[in-house]
Chain A
Amino acid sequence: MAPPPLPNESKRENGGSSGPNTVHPTAAAAQAAAGAASSAAMAGVMLALKALKTTAESNGGVEQRPRRRQGELQNRGKNAVGEPEGGPAAGVKRHRKKRNGAGQGVRLDVPMGGLEGPMVSLQGGPPGRFQSSSKALAGLPKGGSLEKPKRGGGAQGSDSGASRREGLGLGSIDRGEGGAQRFDTQRPERTDEESGQAGSPAERAAAPSSAILQAPPVAAKASSPEIHKELGDANVQSQRGGQDADGVQIEDPPGVGEGYLGSSGSAVEGLSERSTSDSSLAEARGGCWTPGKKHTDEDDSSESWRKRKRHFFILSNAGKPIYSRYGDEHKLAGFSATLQAIMSYVENSKDTIHSIRAGAHKIVFMARGPIYLVAISATGEPESSLLRKLDLLYGQLISILTDSIERTFRRNQKFDVHSLLGGTEPVFASLMHVFSWDYAVLLRAFTCLPLPYAARQAAGVALQEIASPGLVFGLLLAPAGKIISLVAPRRTPPHPDDVLLLCNFVGASESFRTSESFVPLCLYRYNPSAFLYAYVGYLEPEVCLVLLTSQQDGFFHLKECRAHIEQSLRITGVFREVAAAVTRGGLRVEEVPSASAAAQRRLAAGTETGEGIGSLPSSRSSITASNHTLRQKQTASGDASTSGRWGPGRSRDEGLSAGLGGPAGIWHFLYRHTAVDQYLASEYSPPLETRAAQKRVFQTYQRLLASMQGDGAKSGPHRMQYRRDSEFVMLAWSTSDFDFYAVFDPLADKDAAIAVCNRVCTSIRQIEGDLFQTGPVPLAW
């Protein structure tokens, strides 16, 4: 039950750090052991497949379902931020496999008791209703007319077709001729949104905003030393509202929480926060998140289990449980069997089940060979994002086992994978955390620790200097999965998902912190069939080195490389820079330059030179000094002077004064650099200092991104969206160079908001050398 096979030299040495140390996740395995053996975990889960079957067979025509007319849709309420409409309705959506021709999709709307009771039945109940989750963020063009679905036919469960309703208490069946796409027609809230498929932003936007929406000018990097300095200063000055509330647990309000203990602090709790032993560090970061699986005593008969907002399951296609986010896998064997039965039943008719809606719950299925993955969510998140998470979950499983697990299943269908995963609970638990907090999941990109350009270059050089045959990637990691430097052969750039899963694996495993390790690990985007070997060692408490090699016996060589890298980093002062950068944190919305500041900055450019290696401030002393002045400034006046300087406060010309946050009411932003597959997220700051608020922001982005990509296949990708609900104003902007997403105060003024976005994008470009790993990463290995 040793999870992945381990190379020879990987005997654990407790003595010191000299010997290779292999992480053996088995250590924690016992933890999951069941409570009393006698307590028969039991849940009668009845499956009325007959109902499903009969209906499917007799389903001939196109179902007409009750649905709202467009006029109504346009006038819908303002505050539905994509919360799906609940009710007793349930929909089972089935997609014909494409190769089966016909291209017809079947959707069964089956009423269902939901997950509220111990009995999940696909039978009985009131008639189903059209799946009308109000995708508030769905990008509908201005004027509210629904875009035609791209595929032909286009009946889409609308008014064209005869109605047929089955007996058996079943709901209705919808067979859209154009395929099984769902078509949400709810008109989102306000009409002041813009979206378009193509064309320049200027063409689409209304007069006042059109000019602003042009791509930001790319300013010369050297032109704004002052900004850099100021930016860094202010970073330190405001040291994160979240951290001010250290140790405070914030309960998630109903409807938001997923059962986490609240913890303020940075969005992604990474390396340093996963330490329970290293409590000082954990406290310093304000993390209350503890590693390991939670609620293992639950099963599907527990009230608490059924109330969890988002479940993830992995099972074999024989119905044997492999993983469950909550509860004990063995006790959930009955539930797992039910899931398998549902999937296999549809599979039997050469079909694939994609999703079921049951009241507020959405159940999403994914089959990867003999592995079935299921997500059950009541968080209202889009199906596409659940699928994305299932894919990553599968990737994590493969990273531990490789896809040769499929061969094992071909030989032995009874195979019990669960037993192989002993000790990996923290990895999956951490992944679940990542799912709720890490923007890498949404953006398919990784993020770098903001670091002076020269420091990052120096780190890259240190990694490149080592020569080792078979070396595949070299990675220097800062806490929270932020990358200091990543080098790889040009021919095989690392996939962001691999980076995400690797960071998660490394960060979740406590044993890496204490000693050097050499573990087999598979990168599923790189090569799902083979193990690579990861050398993992912490050079500093906040700097983790990961070297991936294809050579099973590479440990001792990589150990030498480590020494070399460590020395090189120390000489070039990279550790110091990293420590400063970690303290400093990322960009903050309060520091977005105001319009006047931006103008003055341009004037000031060239009169001041950057300190340290790069343009971000690089020494603590200078930071502290200006920190002081900034604090003074802040206390002096609520409407702090913004004359020519970055910093807190909002100039009067921004037009909005309510609430906190940055100019024009900007609360948070994400910037994705397309060319390098990297993103940048601003730090959370008031009013987003609570865990609950941060989670709402995450979920808002999640829906925003899904709608930009045309969730539900209702329309293609969009270039720009501006929308407003009761909580936020959201702005999304996609160009060929970058994607930008921001949330604002709900009362933000549109023109001001767009102007601020432009400024943010411009200023990010000016210091992108510090924020991203942009330089070439040649690897001479």
Chain B
Amino acid sequence: MSGRKRTLLKVIILGDSGVGKTSLMNQYVNKKFSNQYKATIGADFLTKEVQVDDRLVTMQLWDTAGQERFQSLGVAFYRGADCCVLVYDVNVNKTFDNLDNWREEFLIQASPSDPENFPFVVLGNKVDVDGGNSRVVSEKKAKAWSASKGNIPYFETSAKEDYNVDAAFQIIAKNALKNETEEEIYLPDTIDVNAQRPQKSSGCEC
């Protein structure tokens, strides 16, 4: 039991293309924002260390590409995720409607042991656009959807204005951690006392 235990969390960020997944990550990790849109190809990986309560947590952020042609990444990417962040653009209805698909896709691919309680977080991004005048998905609607999916925490964010980004990721870390501590029990059931004369005496010696 050394001073502080460090934990690594794998966080997957999903959502339609152009909703601002990469921008959110960049804002969170690098405190930078660019108006220029550059599609993510495949995936980007970033790490960020945060303190959650008394624990030092390294977040391994998997920023995936939103375009459908990259969806074949599938299982490999989602495997062993600790938390999944669903992002949509409050100014585009379609991106919100697709959250259902993203969530289901994730649950199918990652097949977490306890899908009901798997930690998701929903982010409604780009709330700054036009001072909110071009907004089409209401906060109420989004909250209702999040609540219906097992009380997923919901945040309204702006990567551009750095609004709510830190707070959202803090909750992401916290929820993932909560889930992790419940499950992570190393089973030292490895002691095979009958190791007397194990299988091989000849055969695959090399």
Stretch of A108-116, A416-424, A587-595 that contacts chain B? A416-424
Q: Which residue on chain B has the smallest CB distance to residue A336?
A: B60
We find that the number of chain B residues with CB closer than 8 angstroms to chain A is 63
Is A33 located at the chain interface by the 8 A CB criterion?
Answer: yes
Is A637 located at the chain interface by the 8 A CB criterion?
Answer: no
Is A385 located at the chain interface by the 8 A CB criterion?
Answer: no
Beta-carbon contact of A411 and B206 below 8 Å: no
Is A42 located at the chain interface by the 8 A CB criterion?
Answer: yes
* CB-defined contacts of B8 to chain A, threshold 8 Å: 320-321, 330, 333, 416, 418
From B10, B74, B201, give the contact of A348 (CB < 8 A): B74
CA distance A340 to B45 in the complex (A): 11
Is A747 located at the chain interface by the 8 A CB criterion?
Answer: no
**B24 CB to nearest A CB, Å:** 14
By a beta-carbon cutoff of 8 Å, the part of chain B in contact with chain A is: 1-8, 10, 29-30, 40-51, 56, 58, 60-62, 69-70, 72-77, 79-82, 110, 113, 180, 183-184, 186-201, 205-206
Contact pattern, A 393-418, Cβ under 8 Å of B = 1, otherwise 0: 00000000110100110011111101
Quick one: which of B58, B180, B183 has the most chain A CB within 10 A? B58
Question: 8 Å CB contacts to B: which residues of A403-453?
Answer: 404, 407-408, 411-416, 418-420, 422, 444
CA distance A333 to B194 in the complex (A): 38
Q: Which residue on chain B has the smallest CB distance to residue A119?
A: B44
Contact pattern, A 370-410, Cβ under 8 Å of B = 1, otherwise 0: 00000000000000000000000000000001101001100
Known: A330-B49, A414-B10, A531-B190. A47 touches B2 (CB 8 A): no
**B114 CB to nearest A CB, Å:** 11
Quick one: which of B8, B75, B200 has the most chain A CB within 10 A? B8
Beta-carbon contact of A414 and B82 below 8 Å: yes
Is A626 located at the chain interface by the 8 A CB criterion?
Answer: no
CA distance A316 to B82 in the complex (A): 14
Contact pattern, A 106-135, Cβ under 8 Å of B = 1, otherwise 0: 000000000000000001000000000000
Beta-carbon contact of A42 and B1 below 8 Å: no
* CB-defined contacts of A572 to chain B, threshold 8 Å: none
Beta-carbon contact of A319 and B51 below 8 Å: no
**B175 CB to nearest A CB, Å:** 13
CA distance A160 to B119 in the complex (A): 54
Beta-carbon contact of A42 and B46 below 8 Å: yes
Stretch of A475-483, A504-512, A520-528, A694-702 that contacts chain B? A520-528
Beta-carbon contact of B46 and A43 below 8 Å: yes
| Closest 6 A/B residue pairs (Cβ) | A318-B80, A344-B76, A530-B192, A527-B198, A413-B80, A5-B188
**B165 CB to nearest A CB, Å:** 14
* CB-defined contacts of A550 to chain B, threshold 8 Å: 193-196
Beta-carbon contact of A337 and B60 below 8 Å: yes
**A30 CB to nearest B CB, Å:** 4
Beta-carbon contact of B49 and A412 below 8 Å: no
Is A1 located at the chain interface by the 8 A CB criterion?
Answer: yes
CA distance A413 to B80 in the complex (A): 4
* CB-defined contacts of A38 to chain B, threshold 8 Å: 49
Known: A43-B47, A408-B186. A50 touches B41 (CB 8 A): yes
Beta-carbon contact of A402 and B190 below 8 Å: yes
Q: What DSSP secondary structure best describes chain A's contact surface?
A: loop
By a beta-carbon cutoff of 8 Å, the part of chain A in contact with chain B is: 1, 4-5, 26, 29-30, 33-34, 37-51, 53, 123, 316-321, 330-338, 340-341, 343-345, 347-348, 401-402, 404, 407-408, 411-416, 418-420, 422, 444, 470, 472, 491-493, 495, 520, 525-527, 529-532, 550-552
Beta-carbon contact of A34 and B3 below 8 Å: no
Known: A49-B41, A414-B80. A33 touches B1 (CB 8 A): no
**A50-B42, A320-B10, A345-B73 are known contacts; what are 9 more A-B pairs with Cβ within 8 Å?**
A320-B60, A321-B8, A330-B6, A338-B45, A345-B76, A411-B113, A413-B80, A492-B197, A550-B196
* CB-defined contacts of A495 to chain B, threshold 8 Å: 205-206
**A399 CB to nearest B CB, Å:** 12
Q: Which residue on chain B has the smallest CB distance to residue A348?
A: B76
Known: A29-B2, A320-B60, A414-B80. A45 touches B45 (CB 8 A): yes
Q: Which residue on chain A has the smallest CB distance to residue B180?
A: A414
CA distance A627 to B194 in the complex (A): 54
Beta-carbon contact of A46 and B49 below 8 Å: no
Beta-carbon contact of B191 and A415 below 8 Å: no
CA distance A172 to B3 in the complex (A): 52
Beta-carbon contact of B49 and A49 below 8 Å: no
Q: Which residue on chain A has the smallest CB distance to residue B191?
A: A531
**A22 CB to nearest B CB, Å:** 14
Beta-carbon contact of B60 and A530 below 8 Å: no
Beta-carbon contact of A46 and B188 below 8 Å: no
From A47, A401, A525, A531, give the contact of B195 (CB < 8 A): A531
Q: What are 21 A-to-B residue pairs whose CB atoms are below 8 Å?
A: A1-B1, A40-B30, A42-B47, A43-B46, A43-B47, A46-B41, A49-B70, A123-B41, A330-B47, A331-B49, A347-B76, A401-B190, A414-B81, A414-B180, A414-B183, A419-B6, A419-B7, A420-B186, A422-B2, A526-B200, A552-B193
* CB-defined contacts of A419 to chain B, threshold 8 Å: 5-7
**B86 CB to nearest A CB, Å:** 19
Quick one: which of A335, A491, A492 has the most chain B CB within 10 A? A492
CA distance A379 to B197 in the complex (A): 41
* CB-defined contacts of A531 to chain B, threshold 8 Å: 190-192, 195
Known: A30-B2, A333-B8, A531-B191. A348 touches B72 (CB 8 A): yes
* CB-defined contacts of B76 to chain A, threshold 8 Å: 340-341, 343-345, 347-348
* CB-defined contacts of B61 to chain A, threshold 8 Å: 334
* CB-defined contacts of B10 to chain A, threshold 8 Å: 318-320, 337, 414
* CB-defined contacts of B6 to chain A, threshold 8 Å: 33-34, 330, 419
* CB-defined contacts of A422 to chain B, threshold 8 Å: 2
Beta-carbon contact of B49 and A41 below 8 Å: yes
From A1, A42, A123, A344, give the contact of B30 (CB < 8 A): A42
**B172 CB to nearest A CB, Å:** 15
Beta-carbon contact of B190 and A5 below 8 Å: yes
Quick one: which of B47, B61, B82, B113 has the most chain A CB within 10 A? B47
Beta-carbon contact of A40 and B47 below 8 Å: yes
* CB-defined contacts of B62 to chain A, threshold 8 Å: 319, 337
Beta-carbon contact of B47 and A525 below 8 Å: no
Beta-carbon contact of A334 and B77 below 8 Å: no
* CB-defined contacts of A526 to chain B, threshold 8 Å: 198, 200
* CB-defined contacts of A341 to chain B, threshold 8 Å: 42-43, 45, 73, 76-77
From B46, B188, B198, give the contact of A44 (CB < 8 A): B46
**B40 CB to nearest A CB, Å:** 8
* CB-defined contacts of B45 to chain A, threshold 8 Å: 43-45, 47, 333-335, 337-338, 341
Known: A45-B44, A412-B113, A550-B195. A50 touches B70 (CB 8 A): yes
**B108 CB to nearest A CB, Å:** 14
